[in-house]
């Protein structure tokens, strides 16, 4: 069974501040883990979008090398 409750931000903060220390630490750990996971995803996205790329010359060299290897394998 699932129950959904609309709580304002101020009420949520008040509830969290009233939590026992053990529950507060558990909640804090969960939030930090989610934050780290999101940061890792952003770092990965930045790497993919801004990372190094091959130049046209490097791509041509790679293609020539592959063709040469393929010719050698066929003989």
Q: What is the pLDDT of residues 35-71, one digit of tens each?
A: 777 888 888 888 889 988 999 999 999 999 999 998 8
Give 18's DSSP letter: T
pTM above 0.85, yes or no: no
Please give the pLDDT value at position 3.
78
Please state, in angstroms and rounded to a whole number, the distance separating the CA atoms of residues 53 and 5. 49
Give 38's DSSP letter: H
Please state, in angstroms and rounded to a whole number, the distance separating the CA atoms of residues 42 and 3. 32
Q: What is the pLDDT of residues 1-31, one digit of tens each?
A: 777 888 899 998 998 899 999 998 998 888 8
Please give the pLDDT value at position 1.
73
Whether 29 and 37 have beta carbons less than 8 Å apart is answered as no
């Amino acid at each position: 069974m699932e129950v959904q409750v609309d709580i304002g931000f101020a009420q949520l903060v008040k509830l969290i501040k009233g939590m026992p220390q053990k529950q507060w630490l558990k909640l804090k750990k969960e939030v930090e883990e989610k934050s780290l996971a999101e940061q890792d995803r952003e770092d990965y996205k930045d790497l993919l979008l801004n990372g190094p790329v091959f130049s046209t010359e490097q791509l041509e060299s790679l293609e020539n090398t592959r063709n040469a290897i393929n010719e050698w394998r066929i003989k």
